[in-house]
Structure 1
Amino acid sequence: MKNKKINNLNFKIGISIISLVLLFIIIGLFYTPYDPNAMDGTAKNMAPGFTHLFGTDNFGRDVLSRVMEGGRTTFFVALLTVAIGAFFGTLVGAFTGYYGGWLDEILMRINDGVASFPSILLALIVVSLIGPGKYNVIIALGIIFIPSFARVVRSEYITLKERDFVKNAKLMGASDLRIMFVHILPNTKAILLSSLTIGFNNAVLAEAGMSYLQLGVQPPDPSLGRMLSEAQSYMFMSPWCAIFPGIMIVLSVIGFSLINER
């Protein structure tokens, strides 16, 4: 009972944190105090104040505006990454878990081979082949996220395909595709939602890491990881350039982690 209360509290705190982060990003869709890429030679490395609430960077760009824009970019990349991983991972997991046999052996061996590589290393290899950039990182990270979703969905299908409701659907003449995606898939909702929150959390960190290595979002467009990379040379002169995007990343990770603990 006590653990349940703690988990519910963690969930509420996580929802509150993510809501604040999303509100901050949504406001940035319609309003930013300054153009995120506008340079002002007279306002370089200004400390946070009334004119620039989060200060400015070494090019005189408003950090608040760039954090709002950068957060939106990072979440956009993470969202598409998880969408690609979840879509193709669900297809692989559904077919292998439902049919088994040679299809399961072939696809899951390929899946295990991809999963055996460290994710960031594999992403670096893919990006080095297709080149840096926001959409290339989405493709690279999306491919990397497929195995985790495939394994989760496959295990659920292996269990659920033996349930009575599936046997009844077969007796009523339902096709395999209808059984797989109309009868079985909705029953994987709980585990899929958990996998999505974990995946989104990991995608935010992965995008930040790739952009920090200057392989993701390219200048002048901001992302949270890109801002950290640009700020490292000015840590002692203008630490706020790293602090505020860092806080956004930390809050996002903590929020989704707390949500997933329920």
Structure 2
Amino acid sequence: MTGAPVPEPGNSPDTPAGAPGASPAATLRPARPRWRETLGLLARNPTALVAALVLLLIVVVAVFDDTFATQGANEISVEDRLQSPSWEHPFGTDDLGRDILSRVILGASVSLKVGFLAVGFALVVGSLIGLLAGYYGRWVDDVLMRFMDVLFAFPAVLLAIAVLAVRGPGSGNTALAIGIVYTPIFARVTRASVLGVREEVYVRASRSVGASDLRILTRHILPNAAPPIIVQTSISLAFAVLAEAALSFLGLGTQPPNPSWGLMLAEGRGFIDLAWWLAFFPGMAIFLTVLCFNLLGDGLRDVLDPRQRTLMGSGAGGMAAGAADTGGPS
């Protein structure tokens, strides 16, 4: 005779959660959203937190550049030319009397816009190629990844210069050139992540119940392959800003009179002995932005890597506490 299952000792239906006789499973808190847990772990990394705050400040300044800039980018004042940093001009003035601080602020929008457009293009195209190559494999993988290998074989700067030689200089073409350069990197990172996810149990279970390839890719594979892609995005943004500055320095990127950090470096190169501030402050803007993107990428890597999450959880209170917060092991 089959009866109702006998409750385990100390785990009867009438035992309230949290009571001395309640089971450990009854005292677990509801699982927190993954993004909230990730932000919480990221906030415990002071270096990544400071880098994120500085980047947020730079982005705000770039978006509202007209509000923060006290003068126009090409507001010439010959009588104020080559003035050293002062209260009136904190970053000094250039050979045409233009305020360096205002030009650095206005140049932030140009440099960051090119960087975000380039990485956005590489992220979409490269991730799509890597997703298809890693999931379908065989001839799809061979054709797509061999094409990426051809692009990856070219030195990054030379490939960007070749694209600009065909398309012509300018901010838009610079973003396209940098995006083409970084597309193979995102394709490789995405493919490697997909290869590690496509044979998981939940993917095979979805395939066995008749789920379409599109649903499997968008609902199961891509979300679980995303952490390395997110880290690569942060790191690529740093190098995209650096690449834009290099191309503008060579005269192939942003064209005068538009302000750009790399273009300002090129303009200040001839006055390095006479007026050091012309090249110093744009160079510091590039240095600070690239450094913060790299530090944020390192912090995201530590947070999104399951092994690092386990170590961080242990340091914050042990594996038991981490399991109680997330409803299971990290």
State the TM bucket, normalised to the shorter chain.
over 0.9
Letter in 2 for 1:35: G
Q: Distance in 1 between matches of 2:48 and 2:88?
A: 36
The equivalent residue for 1:170 is 207
Displacement of 1:140: 0.8
Displacement of 1:182: 2.2
The equivalent residue for 1:253 is 290
Say whether 1:141 aligns with 2:178: yes
Letter in 1 for 2:266: S
Larger-gyration structure (1/2): 2
8 A Cα contact 2:91 2:99, kept in partner: yes
SS at match of 1:261: helix
Equivalent position to 1:74, from 89, 97, 111:
111
8 A Cα contact 1:10 1:261, kept in partner: no
Say whether 1:205 aligns with 2:242: yes
The equivalent residue for 1:226 is 263
TM-score (norm 1): 0.94
Q: Distance in 2 between matches of 1:165 and 1:39?
A: 64
- Taking the TM superposition and a 5 Å limit, the aligned residue runs for 1:1-262 are 8-262=45-299
Q: Distance in 2 between matches of 1:99 and 1:29?
A: 49
Residue range with higher mean Cα deviation, 37-46 or 112-121? 37-46
SS at match of 2:71: coil
- Superposition RMSD on alpha carbons, in Å? 1.6
8 A Cα contact 2:84 2:91, kept in partner: yes
8 A Cα contact 2:94 2:278, kept in partner: yes
Q: Distance in 1 between matches of 2:167 and 2:141?
A: 30
Unpaired stretches in structure 1, ≥5 consecutive residues = none
Q: Distance in 2 between matches of 1:23 and 1:240?
A: 24
Q: Distance in 2 between matches of 1:203 and 1:13?
A: 21
Q: Distance in 1 between matches of 2:198 and 2:229?
A: 17
Q: Distance in 2 between matches of 1:248 and 1:20?
A: 12
Q: Distance in 2 between matches of 1:26 and 1:143?
A: 25
Unpaired stretches in structure 2, ≥5 consecutive residues = 1-40, 300-330
The number of residue pairs the alignment matches comes to 258
Which structure is richer in relative contact order (CA contacts within 8 A, separation 6 or more)?
1
**What are the Cα deviations for residues 191-235 of structure 1, in whole angstroms up to 9, with x where unaligned?**
111010011011011001000001000000011101000100111
Displacement of 1:39: 1.2
Q: Distance in 2 between matches of 1:156 and 1:29?
A: 42
Letter in 2 for 1:206: A
8 A Cα contact 1:133 1:216, kept in partner: yes
Displacement of 1:28: 1.6
Q: Distance in 2 between matches of 1:22 and 1:142?
A: 20
Report % sequence identity: 37
**What are the Cα deviations for residues 88-128 of structure 1, in whole angstroms up to 9, with x where unaligned?**
00110000000011111111111011001110011011111
Q: Distance in 2 between matches of 1:56 and 1:182?
A: 54
